């Protein structure tokens, strides 16, 4: 059992079974001045540091001196019909060369159309055409970046009538076709499963565990539209109890990975975020103890 739980992405090993937090501007000074015990790594949105100079890059240097880094991109638009922008790939590569992040990830989504960047993560129809386009784009990106890339499963609020396969199969096939890793966002599985009525257990089964390099956890909101409850992936609250349970099931199925708490809107004081991190760390530690016991027996 434990043998199959190897951390396939060698880079994930550097972060081991540690839980990290998304780095947000209001917490930066505190994290530089007083590194909290137990926090080994932080994740940043790569695009936030695509500037020529100034305090942001200086802060990232100081952060890098204290923590391992993960770069999580939001703007590559791997789901666009067009190949990824070489200029944007070059910007990512420059930052990655300078800051040597342990992990590098992007999204299975699109945000660029005809040269316009719309700053959101739009859904993709799950068709053979889209599969080959996204797999091509991921492969192009990995070549240009000279590093393995993980792609994150999406959250979404609509499906396309032309889709011919379930989302989990699409995600698994991209990893296979492009030879990339998967960043498994546990909250996204729950949000999409709720919004589109699929089974989370089937989803967890379909994802090839060997290529999962990281987990994401975040809060979501519930709203009602036309009398129908819709979950919105707003990253503006604590991780929901049902998502913690799904995280437990994910750990039981696929084993531990570096795990991130994302909180992007309505950002709380740092201790609240660190409490969430500690909860995730407790679950990663428990799995490690279970594995140790299984090995001893």
Partner 1 sequence: MPVPTLREMQAAFAAGVLDPSLAGRIAGAIDSDGMAPERRLAIYRNNTLASLRGLLERTFPATRHLLGPERFAGIALAFIRSAPPDRPQLAAYGAGFSGFLEGWAEAGPLAHVGDVARLEWAREEAYYAANAPTLGPAAIARIPVERYPKLRFWLHPTVRLIWSAGPVHSLWQAALAGSADQPLAGTLKKAAEQVLVVRPGMTVVTRPIGAAALVLLEALGAGLPLAEAATRAQAADAGFDLQRSLASHLAGGSFASCG
Q: Measured over all CA atoms, what is the biggest interatomic distance in the chain, rounded to whole angstroms?
A: 59
Using DSSP bridges, classify how beta strands 212-218 and 181-185 pair: parallel, antiparallel or unpaired.
Answer: parallel
The strand pairing partners of 212, in sequence order, are: 182
> Per CB under 8 A, which of residues 258..277 are in contact with partner 1?
none
Residue 99 near partner 1 by CB under 8 A: no
Binding flag, residue 112, partner 1 (CB under 8 A) = yes
Residue 111 touching partner 1 (CB under 8 A): yes
Give dist(CA 65, CA 99) in Å, integer: 10
The single residue among 1, 3, 33, 116 that binds partner 1, judged by CB under 8 A, is 116
Residue 77 found at the interface with partner 1 (CB under 8 A): yes
CA separation for the pair 273, 260 (Å, rounded): 11
CB of 119 to partner 1, least distance (A): 5
Using CB under 8 A as the binding rule, the residues of this chain from 140 to 159 that contact partner 1 are 157-159
- Using CA of residue 231, residue 237, residue 242, residue 246, what is the dihedral sign? positive
> Contact between 128 and partner 1 (CB under 8 A)?
no
Q: How many residues line the site for partner 1 (CB under 8 A)?
A: 53
Structure tokens at 219: 């809060």
198 touches partner 1 (CB under 8 A): no
Considering only 143, 162, 199, 205, the residue that binds partner 1 (CB under 8 A) is 162
CA atoms of 183 and 198, how far apart (whole Å): 20
Nearest to 107 by CA among 144, 80, 140, 69: 80
Show the tokens assigned to 178: 């492009």
Q: Which stretch binds partner 1 (CB under 8 A): 111-119, 165-173, 249-257, 288-296?
A: 111-119
Residue 65: how many CA atoms within 13 Å on its side-chain side?
11
Give the interface with partner 1 as residue ranges (CB under 8 A): 47-48, 50-56, 58, 74-77, 80-82, 85, 87-88, 91, 110-120, 122, 124-125, 127, 129-130, 133, 157-163, 196-197, 225-226, 228, 230, 232
């Amino acid at each position: 059992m434990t043998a199959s739980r190897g951390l396939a992405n060698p880079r994930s090993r550097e972060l081991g079974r540690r839980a990290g937090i998304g780095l947000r501007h209001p917490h930066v000074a505190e994290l530089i001045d007083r590194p909290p015990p137990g926090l080994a790594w932080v994740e940043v949105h790569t695009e936030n540091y695509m500037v020529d100079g100034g305090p942001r890059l200086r802060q990232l240097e100081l952060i890098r001196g204290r923590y391992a880094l993960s770069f999580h991109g939001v703007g590559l638009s791997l789901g666009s019909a067009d190949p990824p922008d070489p200029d944007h790939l070059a910007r990512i590569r420059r930052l990655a060369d300078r800051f040597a992040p342990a992990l590098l990830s992007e999204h299975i989504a699109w945000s660029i159309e005809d040269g316009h960047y719309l700053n959101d993560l739009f859904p993709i129809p799950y068709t053979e055409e889209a599969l080959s386009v996204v797999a091509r784009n991921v492969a192009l990106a990995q070549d240009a970046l000279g590093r393995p890339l993980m792609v994150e499963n999406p959250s979404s609020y609509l499906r396309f009538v032309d889709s011919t396969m379930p989302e989990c199969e699409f995600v698994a096939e991209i990893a296979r076709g492009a030879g990339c890793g998967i960043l498994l966002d546990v909250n996204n599985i729950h949000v999409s499963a709720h919004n589109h009525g699929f089974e989370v257990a089937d989803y967890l089964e379909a994802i090839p565990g060997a290529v999962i390099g990281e987990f994401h956890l975040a809060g979501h909101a519930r709203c009602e539209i036309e009398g129908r409850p819709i979950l919105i992936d707003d990253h503006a609250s604590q991780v929901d109890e049902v998502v913690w349970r799904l995280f437990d099931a994910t750990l039981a199925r696929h084993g531990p990975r570096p795990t991130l708490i994302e909180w992007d809107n309505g950002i709380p004081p740092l201790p609240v975020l660190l409490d969430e991190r500690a909860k995730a760390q407790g679950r990663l530690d428990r799995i490690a103890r279970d594995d140790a016991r299984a090995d001893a027996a």
